Structure 1
Amino acid sequence: MKEAVPSSFGFAPIAPQRAFEDIAAQIRELVARGKLKPGDRLPAERDLAVKLNVSRNTLREALRALELSGMIQLRKGASGGAFVIPGNSDVVVNGMRDLYHLGAISPAELTEARIWLESMVVRIACERLTAQEIDALELNVTAAADAYKASDFVESARLHRQFHVMLGAATRNPVIAIMMEGVMEVMGKFVDSIGPTDKVSTQSSRRRLLKHLRDRDADAATSEITRFLERLHRDYMERWNNRQATG
């Protein structure tokens, strides 16, 4: 079992006011400075509370906040404790979804950002996709078509979103991949609210895009995805605006 870092390890006493936020900030700073790394276990709760001059309840509140933010993981049992974990995309994705639900991101802003982002994604992916990844995209398109024919629109929509996330991952750039994942998560919520469209042919555009990707024709691939998304989002916004007008 990995030993916890010592309780004297750069921790300073905390003032009572908003103490749990100060604790969380102090631990974040230790991570930022590289003193705490993924896999490190924080000192035992009792020792750390004494070092920080706070109650164990206040410390637990801070640790729960850090866990929710994706910074640490709380494990139970004899080998448990608070462990620093590698970052993941969930926090960013959840944050974008919450911003949309709170009205900080409008459907028009969302769709505009998606067109811009995905045009860049396709251009980069065209250069970096492996043959195996293109085959996987092909399987995704076929599975989505089969689901649609079977009237399984929930699965079809999930596969459509997955297609775009796969393109983002193919850029080999984690920042772009996370942005793509976040945008598609929010797009899923938006489309759920207005219903899928049957006015824009997804399958034919997907097949053309796959051909351009196989040919490594970045200009043609970018043009195809941009035209498709512009048509798609015009339809989305028309239905959104009609829905808003009718209440």
Structure 2
Amino acid sequence: MSAQVNESELETLLLRIVPGLAEQWKGATPDEIARIERIAGRPLPPFYRWFLSCMGQSMGRLAYPALDFSAQRVLAYHAEKLVAPEPRFLLIGYSSDEVMPLHAFYDLEAPARADALVTARDALGNEQHDRFETLREMLAWGAFLQFRVGIMPQQCEGMITGEPSGLLSRLDPVMSRLGFTQPVPTGPYCRLYERPDAAMVCSSPPSADFEGNQVFTLGGGDAGALRRILGEIATESSLEVEVDEWTPPLQ
């Protein structure tokens, strides 16, 4: 099965929720992809090949404000020898932050589901900050937060906590009973849920230090609807739910 087929659910989601994306994104050339693979010194994760072929030149409205994931920028950064070649880490996103530029790297020794872990590091290879278990989930989470949760009239964010073992396995059936579906499959550190009137993202860094915690952002029609959803989660799953912020602020 090709990577294109494997990513059909993600592609369907992105084209559904991001206005005009089909006309905006543009893939890298086969030569650019081959050159990045030579830098990596090993076969690229199948998802990364799909990503580069679809949006390695332009991500359209999916583009990050201070992170450039284009193949051209990745190749230029390596050509300028601004990052030392490492067998384990591959630069995939260049940070233009002038204060603390933390670039996005693949940890190629942490593969997951035809993809790999995404970590943030500076060019000198100092302390790494693991962000998402896969680039697939990073993209899906960011797009869903901006174009699905973020367009709701009322949003809230906070923390869901519980026993580390099976936290999301307890949350999934509750969300299903509340009428939510999962538009794309995700791993043990990330979830996307939606129904016509509400949507939610959950995530935690892929580290044992954060097990038992999921940061969430929930969007819906009004505060009352969001409170009912969170109340059902806390009651049915025995998980603790804490809201830290409402957007817009409640009066």
| TM-score with structure 2 setting the length | 0.24
| Structure with the higher fraction of residues in strand conformation | 2
| Structure with the higher fraction of residues in helix conformation | 1
Q: Considering only CA atoms, is the larger Rg found in Structure 1 or Structure 2?
A: 1
| TM-score with structure 1 setting the length | 0.24
